[in-house]
Amino acid sequence: MNTVIDPLEPAASVPNAGAGAGTWSREAVLDVLDLPFADLLYRAQTVHRQHFDANAVQLSQLLSIKTGGCAEDCGYCPQAARYHAGVEATPLMPLAEVVAAASAARDAGATRFCMGAAWRSPKDRDIDQVTEMVRAVADLGLETCVTLGMLREGQAERLRDAGLDFYNHNLDTAPEFYGEVITTRDYQDRLDTLERVRAAGLHVCCGGILGMGESRAQRAGLLAQLAALDPQPESVPINNLVRVEGTPLADAEPLDPLEFVRTVAAARIVMPRSRVRLSAGREQMSDEMQTLCLLAGANSVFYGEQLLTTPNPRAQRDRDLFARLGLHIDAGH
C-alpha cells in the first residue's frame, strides 16, 4: 500500500522500491543531495549510463484538453478558478482538435502525447470522452498519457482498456509541506489514486515541483516518497515552479539553479530506471542549466511551445540544443 513516510522511520521499514532500486530513507536521500557537486554528478551519471543511453532524450508533448475553472486551491496553479490568473476557462476540447494537435506533435518528433484536464476528479461521463481521445491518439502510433486529477474505483481500468499507457499524478512536494500549498485534498488522496492507477496495470508518471519555498530536506522527503512507490514510477517529471501572476506562489523566491540540478541528480540516483523529465520551467532556464540537468540524468522533456497554460521553449530551440549536445531522440519509455 502507498503510505506517507514518517521522516523519523528507519530506512528498513520503508517499502522496497521496485525494479531492484533498493530502499531510500529521507536521510539517505538528503546525504545524496548534500554531496559535493562533482561527486553528486559523477554518481548520477554512472547510474544513468547503467540503465540508459546517455546521449538520448525522450520527447513528450502536452495538450490542455480542459483548461481553467478548477475548484482546487493548489497554490502554484494558474488554472485554479479562485486565483484569477488570467486563464480563460474552456470546456472539454472536441475530439477532432485533440487529434489535430496530436498528429502535429507526432510530425514534430514527439513520441508521447499527454492530455491534461483542470479537474479535481473526472466524472464518469468525462471519462467516456477522454477514452475516445486516448483511442484516437493511440491510433496515431503515439504513447498516451493523461492527467485528470483523482480517480475513483474503476476509472483507471476504463482508461487502460481504451489503450492508455501512462497516468500522470504528481506528489508535488514532501508530505509535511503539502498542506502549505494545497488544502482542498491531502497527500493520502494522491497516494490512493496512484495505487488505483498501478493496480489497473497502467504506467505511472509521478513527480513534483521545486522552488515553492520548500527546504532541501523537504526535497529529500519528496524524492524518498517517490522512490518508495513500489514499483517506482516509470516517469518522474521534475517541474521548476512557473511563477504565475495572481497565484499565491507568484512571488516565491526562485530556487538556486544548481540546487535544482542537484535535485535532478538525486532523482536519477534514487530512481535509476525511471525517465526523469525536465518539465515546467524550461522556458526560464538557460541552455547551460538545461545541459547540466541532462548531465545530471534527466532524459526527457516536454516538447512544443506550450505546457498547459504557460510557454515552453520553441521546438527549434530544443532541436538546436540537442544538436549542439549530440543528443538523439529516444522512442518509447
Considering only residues 75, 149, 207, 313, which one is a binding residue for ligand DTB as defined by CB under 6 A?
A: 207
Max distance between CA atoms of the chain, in angstroms, equals 52
125 is catalytic: no
The piece of 66-74, 218-226, 272-280, 297-305 that touches ligand SF4 (CB under 6 A) is: 66-74
135 is catalytic: no
* Residue 207 sits in the site that holds ligand SF4 (CB under 6 A): no
The piece of 14-22, 86-94, 111-119, 325-333 that touches ligand SAM (CB under 6 A) is: 111-119
Please report, for residues 2, 20, 101, 145, 170, the alpha-carbon distance to residue 227 in angstroms, rounded to integers and kept in the order given: 11, 11, 33, 21, 13
State how beta strands 166-168 and 235-240 pair: unpaired
C-alpha cell at 35: 554531496
How far separated are the first and last CA of the chain, in Å rounded? 25
CB of 79 to ligand DTB, least distance (A): 6
For residues 14 and 85, which CB has a smaller minimum distance to ligand DTB in the complex? 85
* Beta strand segments in the chain, E: 56-66, 112-117, 143-147, 166-168, 203-205, 208-210, 235-240, 275-278, 300-303, 328-329
293 is catalytic: no
- Show contacts of 50-55: CB within 8 Å, 24+ apart: 50/272, 51/272, 51/273, 52/299, 53/330, 54/299, 55/326, 55/327, 55/328
Phi, psi of 311 (to 5 degrees): -75, 155
Considering only residues 218, 239, 247, 290, which one is a binding residue for ligand DTB as defined by CB under 6 A?
A: 239
* Residue 209 sits in the site that holds ligand SAM (CB under 6 A): yes
For residues 20 and 311, which CB has a smaller minimum distance to ligand SAM in the complex? 311
CB of 66 to ligand DTB, least distance (A): 12
Q: By three-state DSSP, how is residue 145 classified?
A: strand
CB of 221 to ligand SAM, least distance (A): 16
DSSP for 217-241, written as a single string:
HHHHHHHHHHHTSSSPPSEEEEEEP
* Residue 308 sits in the site that holds ligand DTB (CB under 6 A): yes
Helix axes 257-270, 26-33, angle to 10 degrees: 130
Binding residues among 135-194 for ligand SF4 as defined by CB under 6 A:
149
Q: Is 124 left (phi over 0), alpha (psi -120 to 50) or beta?
A: alpha
* Residue 281 sits in the site that holds ligand SF4 (CB under 6 A): no
For residues 43 and 68, which CB has a smaller minimum distance to ligand DTB in the complex? 68
Chosen from ligand SF4, ligand DTB, ligand SAM, none, partner binding at 80 (C-beta under 5 to 8 Å by type): ligand SF4
Is the preceding omega at residue 10 within 30 degrees of 0, hence cis? no
Q: Site map for ligand SAM, 263-292, x if CB under 6 A?
A: -----------------x------------
206 is catalytic: no
277 is catalytic: yes
* Residue 147 sits in the site that holds ligand DTB (CB under 6 A): yes
Considering only residues 57, 77, 102, 133, which one is a binding residue for ligand SAM as defined by CB under 6 A?
A: 77
CA distance 60 to 272: 20
Q: What residues make contact with ligand DTB under the rule CB under 6 A?
A: 62, 78, 114, 116, 147, 168, 170, 207, 237, 239, 242, 279-280, 307-310
Q: What residues make contact with ligand SF4 under the rule CB under 6 A?
A: 70, 72, 74, 77, 79-80, 118, 120, 149
Residues tagged active-site: 70, 74, 77, 114, 145, 205, 277
